Amino acid sequence: MEPEPAKRLLNQYDRPTGKHFLILGMSWAGWLFDFYDLMLFSFLLIPIKKSLALSDSSLSLLVGTTLAATALGGIVFGWLADRFGRKTVLSWTILVYSLGAFLCGFAQGAAWLAVCRIITGLGVGGEWATGQTLVGETFPARMRGRFAAVMQTGAPLGIAIASVIGGFVQPALANAFGPDWGWRGCFFISVVPALLVVLIRRHMPESDVWLERKRVAAPKETGQLRYLLTTPDLRRLFLLGLVLATTDMSAYWFTYSWMPRYLYEHLGSSLGKAGIWMLVTQTGGTLGYLSFGIVADWKGRRVAYTIYSLIWAIGLFAVTWFWGALAVYPAMTILFMFLVGLGTGNYSGYGPIFSEIFPTRVRNTAMGAAFNLARGVQFFTPLIITTVAARYGLGGGISLAGFFALITGMWVWTLPETRGTTIGVESAQESREKSVIA
């Protein structure tokens, strides 16, 4: 007999309910402002450089330091989420990155700014995995990919908001209150997402998969990084997933860490116009994230990854290697900028794949560690770009992203196909004996 609805796990429902959409909405909003706070700095590089008299190398180190801090944040908050719950830790991460962004507005030099960006990075590193774990554990298997993709749309929309704040609000504030208060005001505004915590604490349900796991497991068995790294099957999948995340993350950050400046220099126009071009890519990104989820639920995670990685590489090579030729045909330039964004839709694959290959005991730990260690490695991305740009131009440095995108599309085939995998609750004994998908 079919179990009573009240006794079913949320991921056993035939279709999403209000609880599902509340979880999705809060996770989506947390990720949107997570990425907004992370990327806003890139859109404020020029006014910050002028205001604080910083060099390009100092700015590169600041960008890299933020990304490196996300690695630590991913590991720490991933462990905490497996230990204390997804809902609780989601709230903590939002408070941390909002505080870090707010404090950036008071920075008086590179060292002060670095400390603030580290705080931001810690919170940013923990939020994504916690939100994706919540979505993965609560949505039905047959539609997990598409709803994980909906959450992922927070990233391009976060960038879009950052481009508006950096391209339009910053100049307006600078004109009204002076150059220093333009970029500082943008950071002060960025404390607003902390209000999300009130809604999460009062209204969002906890993952029932995690609650059941907590009920049947000994406390010491919850959230062990050691267990993840010493269990052969889990360790192998973790390392394969880490490589996948690293190549894809490299493609992303080689694309976006200096893209606003690249467009600004090539357009020979205002930051506002460069911001509009970035909105084109983020429109493509939003559609890419959404459509990836549909393709992944239809044809599988690996096929979707390969298709979107190829689209991404084509767009990147066009707007970097062939910008001069494309500039003659504005419509073609818009098309390939759109393809750059569309290809980044493969980011929607992380949540489903990582949710489906790891057990509840270490799901958030594994997801947060792999995703954010890969992002932490991007500390070197801005340094590499500036080095390559000295010889081949900024477009040459950014074009390296195309090669990482192609590698990602091939590497994903080292992981198992997990489409349709059911996420259940393992008892302590089952968790010890479980053979993870090989």
Q: Which tens digits make up the pLDDT trace of 146-191? A: 999 999 888 878 888 998 898 889 999 999 888 888 999 999 999 9
Least confident of 78-82, 194-198, 256-260, 363-367: 256-260
Residue 270 has pLDDT above 80, yes or no: no
Closest of 334, 260, 312, 191 to residue 46, by C-alpha:
260
Question: What does the pLDDT read at residue 28?
Answer: 94
DSSP label at 239? Answer: H
- Domain count across the chain: 1
Closest of 124, 136, 118, 69 to residue 92, by C-alpha:
124
CA–CA gap between residue 277 and residue 274 (Å, rounded): 5
Q: Per residue in 107-145, pLDDT tens?
A: 998 999 999 999 999 999 899 889 999 999 999 988 999
**Any idea what the Cα angle at residue 185 is, between residues 183 and 191, rounded to 5°?**
115
CA–CA gap between residue 435 and residue 438 (Å, rounded): 8
Closest of 45, 52, 409, 91 to residue 260, by C-alpha:
45
**And the tokens for 336?**
């390939």
pTM, full prediction = 0.80
What residue type is assigned to position 1 of the chain? M
In a domain, 1, yes or no: no
CA–CA gap between residue 175 and residue 170 (Å, rounded): 9
In a domain, 205, yes or no: no
What mean pLDDT do residues 344-354 have?
89
Q: Are 436 and 358 in contact (CB under 8 A)?
A: yes
Q: What is the mean pLDDT of the chain?
A: 85
Residue 204 has pLDDT above 90, yes or no: yes
Q: Per residue in 298-339, pLDDT tens?
A: 999 999 999 999 999 999 998 888 877 776 777 787 888 899
Q: Where residue 24 sits, what CATH number does that domain have?
A: 1.20.1250.20
Contacts 24+ apart (CB under 8 A), 211-215: 211/85, 212/9, 212/425, 213/360, 213/361, 213/425, 213/426, 214/85
Q: Residues near 267 by Cβ (< 8 Å), separated by ≥ 6?
A: 273, 274, 277
Q: Per residue in 374-401, pLDDT tens?
A: 887 877 776 777 777 677 776 777 888 8
What mean pLDDT do residues 229-242 have?
92
Question: What does the pLDDT read at residue 434?
Answer: 44
In a domain, 214, yes or no: no
CA–CA gap between residue 336 and residue 343 (Å, rounded): 10
**And the tokens for 357?**
């290959």
Residue 77 has pLDDT above 50, yes or no: yes
Domain encompassing residue 93: 10-197+225-433
On the CB side of 427, how many CA atoms lie within 13 Å of its CA? Answer: 2
In a domain, 203, yes or no: no
Closest of 286, 313, 267 to residue 167, by C-alpha:
267
In a domain, 207, yes or no: no
Closest of 434, 360, 419, 421 to residue 208, by C-alpha:
360
Q: Give the Å distances, CA to CA, from 335 to 139, 332, 405.
A: 34, 5, 18
Question: What does the pLDDT read at residue 430?
Answer: 43
